[in-house]
Amino acid sequence: MAITDYLVRNRKLYGNEVALVELNPDQVEKRRVTWKEYDLIQQTENAPYRREITWRVFDEKANRMANMLLERGIQRNHKVAILMMNCLEWLPIYFGVLKAGAIAVPMNFRYDSDEILYCAELAEVDVLLFGPEFIGRIEAIEHKLSKNRLLIFVGEGCPTFAESYHELVSNCSSEAPEIHLDYDDNAAIYFSSGTTGFPKAILHKHRSLMHAAMVEQRHHSTSRDDCFLCIPPLYHTGAKMHWFGSLVAGSKAVLLKGTKAEYVFDAVSREHCTIVWLLVPWAQDILAALDSGQLKISDYELSQWRLMHIGAQPVPKSLIKRWKEYFPHHDYDTNYGLSESIGPGCVHLGVENIHKVGAIGVPGYGWECKIVDEAGNDVKQGEAGELCVKGPGVMTEYYNDPVATAEVLRDGWLYTGDVAMMDEDGFIFLVDRKKDVIVSGGENLYPVQIEDYLRKFDKILDVAVIGLPDDRLGEIAGAIIKIKDGMECTEDEINEFCEELPRYKRPKKIIFADVPRNPTGKIEKPKLRKMYGQEHLVAHENQID
Of the two residues 384 and 444, the one the predictor is more confident about is: 384
Name the residue with higher pLDDT: 139 or 520.
139
Residue 146 has what pLDDT? Answer: 80
pLDDT for the residue numbered 540: 45
Distance CA 262, CA 540 (A): 45
What percent of the chain stands above pLDDT 70? 90
pLDDT band of residue 407 (cuts 50, 70, 90) is very high
Burial class (CB in 10 A: 0-12, 13-18, 19+), 33: middle
Give pLDDT tens digits for 342-396: 988 899 999 999 889 889 999 999 999 999 998 899 999 999 899 999 999 999 9
pLDDT in tens, 1-35: 899 999 999 999 999 999 999 999 876 555 444 43
Region of residue 92 (left: phi > 0; alpha: psi -120 to 50; beta: else)? alpha
Quote the pLDDT of residue 35: 39
- Looking at 107-111, 180-184, 214-218, which range is the least confident one? 107-111
Element (H, E) at 324: helix 317-326
Q: What is the per-residue pLDDT across 450-499, written as a single tens digit (0 to 9) for each?
A: 888 898 898 999 998 988 887 667 788 899 999 988 899 999 999 999 98
- Domain-located, residue 462: yes
Q: Are 269 and 303 in contact (CB under 8 A)?
A: no
Is the distance from CB of 175 to CB of 66 less than 8 angstroms?
no
Instruction: Considering only residues 534 and 267, tell me which one the structure prediction assigns the higher pLDDT.
Output: 267
Residue 358 lies in a domain: no
Cα separation, 407 vs 71, in Å, equals 40
pTM: 0.82
Q: What is the pLDDT of residues 126-173, one digit of tens each?
A: 999 999 999 999 999 999 988 889 999 999 999 999 999 999 999 999
> Chain centroid to CA 405: how far?
22
- Region 46-50: what's the mean pLDDT? 64
Q: Domain limits at 539?
A: 437-544
Which residues have C-beta within 8 Å of that of residue 26, sequence separation ≥ 6?
257, 258
Residue 304 has pLDDT above 90, yes or no: yes
| 495 assigned to some structural domain | yes
Percent of the chain at pLDDT exceeding 90: 66
Between vectors from CA 228 to CA 222 and to CA 230, what angle results, nearest 5°?
Answer: 135
Q: Does residue 174 lie within any of the structural domains? A: no
Residue 470 forms part of a structural domain: yes
Task: Examine residue 517 and state whether it is found in any structural domain, yes or no.
Answer: yes
Whole-number Å distance between alpha carbons of 192 and 183: 23
The verdict on residue 52 lying in a domain is no
CATH number at residue 530: 3.30.300.30
Report the domain count for the chain.
Answer: 1
pLDDT at 430: 83
Biggest alpha carbon distance in the chain?
A: 76
> Phi, psi (5° rounding) for residue 473?
-100, -5
Indicate the average pLDDT of the chain: 88
Which 3 state secondary structure label does DSSP give 244? helix
Of the two residues 86 and 530, the one the predictor is more confident about is: 86
Q: How large is the average pLDDT for residues 213-231?
A: 95
- Model pLDDT, residue 434: 66
Q: At residue 535, does pLDDT exceed 70?
A: no
Q: What pLDDT shows up at residue 197?
A: 56
Instruction: Count other Cβ atoms within 10 Å, centred on residue 371.
Output: 21
How far apart are the C-alpha atoms of 292 and 532, rounded to whole Å?
A: 33
Q: What is the mean pLDDT of residues 27-44?
A: 44
* 114 within some domain: no
